């Protein structure tokens, strides 16, 4: 009986224990690691993966996968920057979010109406959006953004960097949608057993399309924040970020086959990725080894989470 | 060169006297997936060993967002000086400003940034490289002959500067005639097709200068196809492996090589000087290039 409880704790909170363990380890290895200013920087760096991870959680809970987030991020960021140059910040941001949402919804439509697996549909979108970005920007960074746009990625409210606040607000809204609305329950139901969900009258196609639209919207938001942070929209922005986002979701304990998982797990997963990036830099681990270490940590975390399961 | 020697002397002097204490230099490289920057890093490591200071190297993997985070981490580590080889001229401006705000001096290597306070910029002097190519060509021709030039992407700084150096140099010799000057966008295939057209138009050519090796290699193909390889020689720029092989095989005559090792060495050395409080009195150190003929 006791053993069972222990396993339950590991399963539920293993990832949190892992995060705390990493923080303690890095704090011992580097005196500069556990300072307020460094922790704020880690959180700001993490916000990028967290936005994408939150969107990815919706998609994966619904038994899908979205490989296009990095490219959609780049396209949205580029369009936002381009529109902003001539029509101002507000319309620029709106255009970026609209592009992201539309591309996400389009992937969802292809998956549900044309019955193409999410892996393939979003792989195609990954190529389309990256190509679209290069066409739109002519392969060059979009620069000359309004100076007040810098607030989004580099501003502060009090002592807290704005992206952190945006991340927390996004998390709370997503949590409410997932936990307290009928839509959220349908997302879990669709991912858990799509036939049962359909039989019980849930319009599963709409749920899946919405999931991808949410992922697209948050990719768009990420692209805009990144453009602000880098003072320019980069045509190559976000390359490989889909893997970071998926890793954050998986680290957070969400079942890759859908139906089961928690949003806070994704947030912790994103933090683990961010802490690893920052902490390994702090203790002078060569960038080549850093990638190896990250891969090993993901393996360990998933193995531990598995072992806690019955 | 005088300044370089002066700097070397100062390093030797400072090294043995007051500033023997430890210092940490942070080096953020755009990508280590390119031999050029690996050699740059190795030069920096070597120089750090010589000066007995700590060097931290970070690889941005060509992602400006990662490089921005790397710089933030270096600022948090409170390194004494940052050497930045930026992935993008605009995207890294906020990172430079972060370092400025933290009072950490920052030097740029090989590529520059469009804002913030940069203590020193270290890069190849492309104008000088163009001059060297011009000097070599003029010498080989015995100050007399017909020359053709293949230009890089219009408006690109490397193309403008290399062309400027070459053109200004050869203009001083009345026996040298620049018969054609056309752009081939730094591209091998375009280098070939543009050279084909020039070969049709020009009955006599003695030398070809291409502003990079890719175009030079394309031109070599066109010249060989026209069976006119004994009539003229080709000079390139960059010293890429293919070009070095072409020089060995006798298809190309020379190329101009950048010296990434020297960039790394100069970066660490001058970072050391800046931290030690030496007023450099200059904003740009041109890294010497060299002519490679074998």
Judged by a CB distance cut-off of 8 A, whether residue B140 touches chain A is no
What integer is the mean pLDDT of A135-139?
Answer: 90
What integer is the mean pLDDT of A198-219?
Answer: 97
Instruction: Name residues whose C-beta falls within 8 Å of residue A112's C-beta, 6 or more positions apart in sequence.
Output: A204, A205, A208, A209
* Residue B293 Cα, gap to closest chain A Cα (Å): 35
Report angle CA A120, A237, B110 to the nearest 5 degrees. 135
- Identify the pLDDT of residue B20: 46
Closest by Cβ to A154, choosing from B56, B91, B94: B94
Spatial contact of B67 and B86, defined as CB atoms under 8 Å apart? yes
Judged by a CB distance cut-off of 8 A, whether residue A10 touches chain B is no
Q: Which two tokens stand for residue A180?
A: 């307290």
ipTM reported for the complex, 2 dp = 0.84
How many CB pairs (< 8 A) connect A and B?
A: 72
Q: How far apart are CA B17 and CA B11, in angstroms?
A: 10
- Which of A74, A287, A292 best tests the B interface by mutation, with the highest count of B CBs <10 A? A287
Evaluated on CA atoms B1, B2, B3, B8, the torsion sign reads: positive
Distance of alpha carbon A295 from the chain centroid: 18
Judged by a CB distance cut-off of 8 A, whether residue A237 touches chain B is yes
Q: How far apart are CA B195 and CA B67, in angstroms?
A: 40
* Cβ contact, residue pair B56, A231, below 8 Å: no
Q: How far apart are CA B56 and CA A283, in angstroms?
A: 10
Q: Name the nearest CA neighbour of A153 among A215, A227, A239.
A: A227
- Which of B42, B78, B94, B97 best tests the A interface by mutation, with the highest count of A CBs <10 A? B94
* Cβ contact, residue pair B73, A281, below 8 Å: yes
Residue by residue, DSSP assigns A123-192 as: HHHHHHHHHHHHHHHTTS-B----GGGHHHHH-EETTEEHHHHHHHHHHHHHHHHHHHSHHHHHHHHHHH
DSSP one-letter code for B161: H
pLDDT digits (tens, 9 = 90+) for A73-130: 999 999 999 999 999 999 999 999 999 999 999 999 999 999 999 999 999 999 999 9
Judged by a CB distance cut-off of 8 A, whether residue A154 touches chain B is yes
Judged by a CB distance cut-off of 8 A, whether residue B72 touches chain A is yes
* Cβ contact, residue pair B73, A278, below 8 Å: yes
B176-183 vs B145-151, strand pairing mode: parallel
- Identify the pLDDT of residue A17: 87
* Cβ contact, residue pair B57, A230, below 8 Å: no
- Identify the pLDDT of residue B17: 44
Residue by residue, DSSP assigns B60-119 as: -TT-HHHHHHHHHHHHHHT-SEEEE--S-TTTTHHHHHHHHHTT--EEEESS--SSS--S
CB atoms under 10 Å from CB of B106, counted, come to 29
Q: How far apart are CA B167 and CA B41, in angstroms?
A: 33
What integer is the mean pLDDT of A193-211?
Answer: 96
* Residue A43 Cα, gap to closest chain B Cα (Å): 11
- Identify the pLDDT of residue B12: 52
* Cβ contact, residue pair B76, A32, below 8 Å: yes
- Identify the pLDDT of residue B231: 96
In B, which residues are within 8 Å of A30 by CB distance? 77
pLDDT digits (tens, 9 = 90+) for B125-154: 899 999 999 999 999 999 999 999 999 887
Could you tell me which residue, A13 or A202, shows the higher pLDDT?
A202
Q: How far apart are the first and last CA of chain B?
A: 26
* Cβ contact, residue pair A141, B90, below 8 Å: yes
* Cβ contact, residue pair B76, A41, below 8 Å: yes
* Cβ contact, residue pair B73, A282, below 8 Å: yes
In A, which residues are within 8 Å of B57 by CB distance? 286-287
Quick check: B271 pLDDT over 60? yes
Judged by a CB distance cut-off of 8 A, whether residue A284 touches chain B is yes
CB atoms under 10 Å from CB of A25, counted, come to 14
Closest by Cβ to B94, choosing from A230, A286, A287: A230
- Identify the pLDDT of residue A303: 80
In A, which residues are within 8 Å of B68 by CB distance? 229-230
SS3 breakdown of chain A: % helix, strand, coil, rounded to 5?
80, 0, 20
- Which of B22, B69, B111 best tests the A interface by mutation, with the highest count of A CBs <10 A? B69
Predicted model pTM: 0.81
* Residue A285 Cα, gap to closest chain B Cα (Å): 9
- Identify the pLDDT of residue B5: 56
Quick check: A242 pLDDT over 90? yes
In A, which residues are within 8 Å of B73 by CB distance? 41, 278, 281-282
- Identify the pLDDT of residue B21: 53
* Cβ contact, residue pair A231, B90, below 8 Å: yes
Spatial contact of B169 and B137, defined as CB atoms under 8 Å apart? no
- Which of B60, B76, B156 best tests the A interface by mutation, with the highest count of A CBs <10 A? B76
- Which of B73, B103, B111 best tests the A interface by mutation, with the highest count of A CBs <10 A? B73
In A, which residues are within 8 Å of B64 by CB distance? 230, 234, 237
State the DSSP H helix or E strand holding residue A267, giving kind and residue range, or none if neither.
helix A263-282
pLDDT digits (tens, 9 = 90+) for A268-292: 999 999 999 999 999 988 888 988 9
Q: How far apart are CA B101 and CA B86, in angstroms?
A: 18
CA atoms within 13 A on the CB side of B140: 20
Q: Distances from the Cα of A243 to the Cαs of A55, A56, A251, in angstroms?
A: 13, 10, 12
Closest by Cβ to B69, choosing from A45, A141, A286: A45
* Cβ contact, residue pair B76, A38, below 8 Å: yes
């Amino acid at each position: 009986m006791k053993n069972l409880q222990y396993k339950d704790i590991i399963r539920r909170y293993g990832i949190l224990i892992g995060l705390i363990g990493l923080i303690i380890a890095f704090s011992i290895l580097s005196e500069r690691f556990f300072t307020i200013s460094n922790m704020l920087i880690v959180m700001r760096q993490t916000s990028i993966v967290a936005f994408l991870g939150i969107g990815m959680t919706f998609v994966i809970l619904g038994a899908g996968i979205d490989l296009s987030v990095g490219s959609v991020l780049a396209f949205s960021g580029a369009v936002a920057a381009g529109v902003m140059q001539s029509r101002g910040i507000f319309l620029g941001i709106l255009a970026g979010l609209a592009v992201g949402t539309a591309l996400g919804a389009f992937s969802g439509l292809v998956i549900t109406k044309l019955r193409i697996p999410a892996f393939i549909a979003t792989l195609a979108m990954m190529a389309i959006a990256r190509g679209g970005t290069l066409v739109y920007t002519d392969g060059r960074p979009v620069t000359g953004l309004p100076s007040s746009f810098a607030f989004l990625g580099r501003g502060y409210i009090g002592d807290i960097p704005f992206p952190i606040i945006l991340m927390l607000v996004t998390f709370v809204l997503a949590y409410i949608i997932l936990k307290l609305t009928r839509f959220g329950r349908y997302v879990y139901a669709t991912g858990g057993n799509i036939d049962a969900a359909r039989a019980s009258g849930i319009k599963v196609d709409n749920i899946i399309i919405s999931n991808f639209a949410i992922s697209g919207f948050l990719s768009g938001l990420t692209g805009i924040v990144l453009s602000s942070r880098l003072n320019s929209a980069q045509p190559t922005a976000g390359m490989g970020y889909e893997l970071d986002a998926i890793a954050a979701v998986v680290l957070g304990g969400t079942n890759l086959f859908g139906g089961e998982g928690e949003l806070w797990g994704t947030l912790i997963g994103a933090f683990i990725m961010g802490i690893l990036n920052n902490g390994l830099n702090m203790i002078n681990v060569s960038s080549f080894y850093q990638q190896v270490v990250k891969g090993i940590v993901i393996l360990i975390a998933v193995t531990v989470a598995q072992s806690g399961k019955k | 060169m005088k300044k370089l020697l002066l700097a070397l002397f100062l390093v030797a002097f400072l090294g043995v006297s007051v500033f023997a204490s430890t210092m940490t230099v942070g080096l953020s490289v755009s990508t280590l997936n390119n031999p050029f920057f690996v050699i740059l890093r190795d030069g920096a490591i070597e120089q750090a060993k010589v000066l007995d200071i700590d060097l931290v190297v970070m690889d941005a993997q060509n992602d400006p967002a990662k490089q921005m985070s790397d710089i933030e981490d270096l600022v948090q580590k409170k390194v004494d000086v940052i050497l930045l080889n930026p992935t993008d001229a605009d995207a890294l401006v906020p990172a430079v400003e972060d370092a400025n705000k933290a009072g950490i001096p920052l030097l740029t290597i090989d590529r520059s940034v469009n804002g913030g306070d940069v203590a020193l910029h270290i890069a190849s002097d492309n104008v000088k490289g163009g001059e060297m190519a011009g000097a070599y060509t003029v010498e080989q021709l015995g100050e007399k002959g017909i020359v053709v030039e293949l230009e890089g992407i219009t408006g690109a700084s490397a193309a403008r500067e290399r062309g400027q150096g070459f053109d200004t140099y050869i203009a001083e010799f009345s026996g040298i005639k620049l018969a054609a000057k056309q752009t081939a966008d730094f591209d091998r295939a375009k280098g070939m097709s543009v050279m084909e057209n020039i070969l049709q138009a020009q009955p006599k050519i003695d030398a070809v200068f291409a502003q990079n090796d890719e175009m030079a290699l394309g031109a070599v193909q066109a010249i060989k196809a026209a069976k006119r390889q004994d009539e003229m020689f080709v000079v390139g720029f960059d010293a890429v492996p293919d070009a070095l092989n072409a020089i060995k095989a006798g298809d190309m005559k020379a190329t101009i090589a950048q010296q990434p090792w020297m960039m790394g060495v100069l970066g660490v050395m001058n970072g050391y000087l800046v931290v030690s409080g030496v007023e450099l009195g200059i904003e740009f150190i041109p890294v010497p290039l060299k002519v490679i003929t074998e």
